[in-house]
Structure 1
Amino acid sequence: MNPLISRAQSDGFEVVKNLELIDLIYRNLDMYYVDKPVPGKLMKAGIDAMLRELDPYTVFIAESNIEDYRLMTTGQYGGIGALIRSSGDHVVITEPYENNPAFKAGVKAGDVILAIDGVSMKDKPSDEVSAALKGPKGSSISVEVERPGVGKKTIKITRDEIKIPDVPYHGIVKDGIGYIKLTSFTQSAYAEVKKAYDELKGQGMEKLIFDLRGNGGGLLIESVKIVNMFVPKGQEVVSTKGRIQEENRVYTALDKPTDLEIPVAVLVDGGSASASEIVSGSLQDLDRAVIVGSTTFGKGLVQRTMDLKYGSKVKLTIAKYYTPSGRCIQKLDYASRKEGERAKEIDETLLATFTTKNGREVMDGRGIEPDVKVEEEEYSRLTAMLVIENVIFDFTTQFVIDNPTIAKPDQFELADETYNAFKKFALGKDFTYSTASEEMLNRFMEVAEREGYLDTTSAEYKSVYQLVHPSKERDLDMFREEIEELLENEIVSRYYYQNGRIINSFKRDKALVEAVKVLGDTEKYKAILAGE
């Protein structure tokens, strides 16, 4: 017998056998288990556990989660248009989307959600509150909030179709250099980028910074269309290879390009994944743009969504994608993962080197390495806790009460007296944190004690411990610069919303500054692309 036929029969038997076992196990649970099982919950747990054995992108989408899937692919949902976050035993509004229902109804950042349509939201998780706020376009909702400095009030909001923009901001940043921020690749990504591009050209744009930082990807075809803006018709943009022949495809630029000459710098970071890596990787392979920032996430897997019965779907990985040079940038090896272990990076010995159109060397298996590196900065433990514990958020809420207006986003600067007020506010909050140095020192002392060195090192230990042990007052001064950055940005967002937040961030954006520098030096730009 043909060994392939034999293996197929064996695999088929295994599938039938185990499906029968699952059925028998559930029947026995249903008949004899001490507490009555909840069928839907139990089966979904089983499906989710099975899919987790593959990769984190292969998932079951129950009918109850279809709205979340729709939001992911289209950027649209029915609701009030606001960001929310848990704070204590309630959920608070963190930012109403400008010109959307919540904004028009007068909802403000800092409003504590007490009840929705008369149902208390106390101790409700944020996802449950979010579900209660969502609903069909045209339906009304009554939201009781408590506003700091004002008190309780009930706000009636008429829901609408909310479209989260793929391009939240675009503008001229300096001397003919345009900037487009793309946050996702939904069905409207290309259209929004093209519209922003045309507007900037009308304003005199001669060079472009395309920001893909934090963009986790989305629809592959939208990434192809965006690359097509800058490369000739017929140019290969990306190819996919799967286990079945039908998934081996080559995606080429199908349309006339928008501009083959404009210098382009693409900003990326560790949050740039999937479709973002197709755009940055393809433009790098074709020597059409300089990539600036830090190494991308490394997701080279393609998913497709299949319709199932009962209004549900399954999204599963069907192929890997390859940029024009032939490299796959997938970083983690899910196929070789052992049970219970996390996926590890693809072994160094398996990595290969490829070349761009101009002969520059690029490597697979590690995401997209930028041409100009600007490392991401990590915040201190204190700064992270100030965000997690809503200290920055709560101080800003009070600041807005005391200050009806502030300067424009690009002009606003945090005054010394404001930071001193924040410092006093933070010192009055009850939260704890540890430093990495303290944790390492404690581990060192545990080893020293086991080896009998504690008596000779205890005095020195106490001295060093005082240096690395958290001190809120000391650390608020030590990490003032990074705390000020977040605080200033949060304040600006309350007056000028998302656009203002982005504009304000430009002042301290090292990657943006580097991109402006590269685009401003024509010889350097050309030399990078030439591999000189």
Structure 2
Amino acid sequence: MKKLKTKKWLNWTSGILFVLILSLGFVSANNEERNFSIVKNLDIFYSLFRELNTYYVDKTDPGELIETAINAMLESLDPYTTFIPEKEMEDFNFMTTGEYAGIGALITRVDDYVYISEPYKGFPADKAGLKAGDKIIAIDGVEMKGKSTEDVSNKLKGPANTEVKVTIERYGSEKPIEITIVRKNIQINPVPYYGLVEDNTGLIILNNFTHNCSEVVEQALEDLKKQGAEKIILDLRGNPGGLLDEAVKVVNLFVPRGSEVVSTKGKIKQWDKVYRATKAPVDTVIPLAIMINRGSASASEIVAGAIQDLDRGVIVGSRSFGKGLVQTTRNLPYNTKLKVTTAKYYIPSGRCIQALDYSHRNEDGSVGYVPDSLVSEFQTLNGRTVYDGGGISPDIVVPRDTFSNIAYALVAQQTIFKYANVFCAEHKSIPEPEEFAVSDEMYNHFTGFVLSLDDFKYTSASRERFKKLVEAAKSEGYYDLNKEEFEALEEKLNVDVSFDLKNFRDEVEDLLANELLKRFYYQEGAIKYALKDDKVLKKTIEVINDEGYYRGILNGTVLSHAGDRLRR
């Protein structure tokens, strides 16, 4: 019976493939050689697939084999051309719309269980009483031990207005708690915070370019102006992008109708398009600054790049990610899709956002060093010199924060998360974000908690460098000659957790405060606290308050980093 089913499946696949091959043969009569190559290689692939399914020693899953083949094929292209199987469609829709049906909470995996990481304020999980730190031990009676975050997420999601029973363990509670939650359509606010950071300077934080986000930004802008804002800062740090049309509409809030914002150019010329501001703007003269970093990508780079090229505002921070490739979603059979790169983005000066070589990037995927030989000059509307080569270089560069190894370890090993569970069980409140500070008593308590953990381990930066030194010394023959000295130095470089917690208190303290404030005041509270000591924001306020300096950057009388090749 299994052989018969496999044979029917292969015959059906063969028929589909035959039709595909025939159709490809008529795509272009002027490209017979290419069409023959396509038909030839599809025939080879089908024959190999048929032989593999028939004769391979172990049982194979045709669907898994094909998906593996598809993914491997697409990986040979750019990083953004991807296959979206049916099981991932819900996540894909959430990325583009910011909307899904579920309980409204972030989750995270800690050891063998998935925990509630952050319930969104006012959404079903929050209203039902779920709290950050709750361990999910069962959903609708099904044990969740050992399940992945994806498995748990799928169980929590479901049609709106349906119930889901979540059994949790909460630190400090003796017995498990069962909570019934009614799922709702969840629309994540793309603007988690806006407000006055000075008497006349407004800040808008935009996290994603999801559907209608431009309307939310416009409402925030109008409200800030009513509150007395005479200058605007748009924070796009960490914004990974989203919908192109929304990026154009956000730029349109600040530039005259008819202004070119971005254009797309690809292989299919009839798809090339110039996107312009089509509506009446809200304000074309209010001083504007945009903050970006390596996490600002795609639509964020279109907004920052267009504002820079049109000399409408100054850009502050660090160079952006460098994603300037346009993806078009094509429907495939059985509720699957292909997200395929079809063009590149070009901002008003004519430069391309995309890194020239997307195969050599930093560890986080952002654009790495680009040699001068691959960089071209372009001119902004006022004649300022800017460069391509990948991403947007800010007018004012503020060096990125780098974290110590112990800070990374505290986050990666969920140590701060675990401590917050203990702290929140013992404390019912903390001061408001504007007044909150990590006291010596609190930090000492945290230090004691970390030192009590047997499984908290990490390697210091010094020890990592020492390891490389030893490797080099051994390869050159110096290690054996100085073995005692190397061993003595190694002993001195052993990790001292207590010392590192004291030495790197400032950054550890910020991470701890962020986690605690999210527990008591949600995401907005954590944002308010972070803004108090945000050096990029402080520099941006300094620039936008100095009218002569601000105008000098835009008219080219003050040299900015974006036009300084030596600082690339």
Q: Is 1:402 aligned to 2:417, yes or no?
A: no
* CA distances 1:30-63 after superposition (whole Å, capped 9, x unpaired): 2211222111111111111111111111111112
SS at match of 2:532: helix
| One-letter amino acid matched to 2:502 | D
Following superposition, the deviation at residue 336 of structure 1 comes to: 11
Query: What is the aligned partner in structure 2 of residue 14 from structure 1?
Result: 37
- For the residues of structure 2 that align with 1:343 and 1:52, how far apart are their CA atoms? 18
Query: What is the aligned partner in structure 2 of residue 88 from structure 1?
Result: 111
Following superposition, the deviation at residue 468 of structure 1 comes to: 3.6
Q: Is 1:512 aligned to 2:541, yes or no?
A: no
| One-letter amino acid matched to 2:117 | T
- Structural RMSD (CA): 1.9
1:357-376 to 2 correspondences below 5 Å: 357-376=381-400
Query: What is the aligned partner in structure 2 of residue 349 from structure 1?
Result: 373
- For the residues of structure 1 that align with 2:484 and 2:379, how far apart are their CA atoms? 57
1:126-275 to 2 correspondences below 5 Å: 126-150=149-173, 151-275=175-299
SS at match of 2:190: coil
- For the residues of structure 2 that align with 1:350 and 1:455, how far apart are their CA atoms? 45
Q: Is 1:104 aligned to 2:102, yes or no?
A: no
Query: What is the aligned partner in structure 1 of residue 416 from structure 2?
Result: 392
Identity %: 48
SS at match of 1:508: coil
Instruction: Say which is worse superposed, 20-29 or 103-112, in terms of deviation.
Output: 20-29
* CA distances 1:147-169 after superposition (whole Å, capped 9, x unpaired): 00013111111100011111111
Q: Check the 8 A contact 2:367/2:390 in 1, yes or no.
A: no
Following superposition, the deviation at residue 335 of structure 1 comes to: 8.6
- For the residues of structure 1 that align with 2:550 and 2:413, how far apart are their CA atoms? 43
1:457-496 to 2 correspondences below 5 Å: 457-496=482-521
Q: Show structure 2 runs of 5+ residues with no match.
A: 1-27, 559-568
- For the residues of structure 1 that align with 2:538 and 2:139, how far apart are their CA atoms? 45
Using the size of structure 1 for normalisation, the TM-score is 0.95
- Alignment CA distance shift 1:148-1:470 (3 Å): same
SS at match of 2:31: helix
Using the size of structure 2 for normalisation, the TM-score is 0.89
Q: 1:74 aligns with which of 71, 74, 97?
A: 97
Instruction: Say which is worse superposed, 224-233 or 24-33, in terms of deviation.
Output: 24-33
Query: What is the aligned partner in structure 2 of residue 522 from structure 1?
Result: 547
- For the residues of structure 2 that align with 1:406 and 1:172, how far apart are their CA atoms? 24
Q: Check the 8 A contact 1:54/1:335 in 2, yes or no.
A: no
- For the residues of structure 1 that align with 2:493 and 2:435, how far apart are their CA atoms? 36
Instruction: Say which is worse superposed, 274-283 or 201-210, in terms of deviation.
Output: 201-210
- Alignment CA distance shift 1:62-1:403 (3 Å): same
- For the residues of structure 1 that align with 2:50 and 2:480, how far apart are their CA atoms? 64
- Alignment CA distance shift 1:175-1:317 (3 Å): same
| One-letter amino acid matched to 1:488 | A
| One-letter amino acid matched to 2:230 | E
Following superposition, the deviation at residue 458 of structure 1 comes to: 3.3
- Alignment CA distance shift 1:30-1:158 (3 Å): same
Query: What is the aligned partner in structure 2 of residue 293 from structure 1?
Result: 317
- Alignment CA distance shift 1:7-1:421 (3 Å): farther
Q: Check the 8 A contact 2:415/2:450 in 1, yes or no.
A: yes
Query: What is the aligned partner in structure 1 of residue 440 from structure 2?
Result: 416
- For the residues of structure 1 that align with 2:436 and 2:47, how far apart are their CA atoms? 67
Q: 1:317 aligns with which of 341, 352, 356?
A: 341
- For the residues of structure 1 that align with 2:367 and 2:66, how far apart are their CA atoms? 25
| One-letter amino acid matched to 2:501 | L
| One-letter amino acid matched to 1:407 | P
Q: Is 1:53 aligned to 2:76, yes or no?
A: yes
- For the residues of structure 1 that align with 2:475 and 2:342, how far apart are their CA atoms? 52
- For the residues of structure 2 that align with 1:266 and 1:258, how far apart are their CA atoms? 17
- For the residues of structure 2 that align with 1:520 and 1:377, how far apart are their CA atoms? 24
| One-letter amino acid matched to 1:122 | K
- For the residues of structure 2 that align with 1:399 and 1:438, how far apart are their CA atoms? 32
Q: Is 1:437 aligned to 2:462, yes or no?
A: yes
Q: Check the 8 A contact 1:116/1:142 in 2, yes or no.
A: yes
- Alignment CA distance shift 1:19-1:346 (3 Å): farther
- For the residues of structure 2 that align with 1:475 and 1:7, how far apart are their CA atoms? 68
- For the residues of structure 1 that align with 2:506 and 2:518, how far apart are their CA atoms? 19
| One-letter amino acid matched to 1:435 | S
Q: Check the 8 A contact 2:354/2:390 in 1, yes or no.
A: yes
Following superposition, the deviation at residue 405 of structure 1 comes to: 1.1
- The count of aligned residue pairs is 525
Q: Check the 8 A contact 1:331/1:345 in 2, yes or no.
A: no
Query: What is the aligned partner in structure 2 of residue 381 from structure 1?
Result: 405
- For the residues of structure 2 that align with 1:53 and 1:446, how far apart are their CA atoms? 34
Following superposition, the deviation at residue 464 of structure 1 comes to: 3.6
Q: Is 1:27 aligned to 2:46, yes or no?
A: no
SS at match of 1:208: strand
Query: What is the aligned partner in structure 1 of residue 18 from structure 2?
Result: none
* CA distances 1:362-387 after superposition (whole Å, capped 9, x unpaired): 11013111111111111111111101
SS at match of 2:41: helix
Instruction: Say which is worse superposed, 437-446 or 401-410, in terms of deviation.
Output: 437-446
* CA distances 1:347-405 after superposition (whole Å, capped 9, x unpaired): 64232011111222111013111111111111111111101111111111111111111
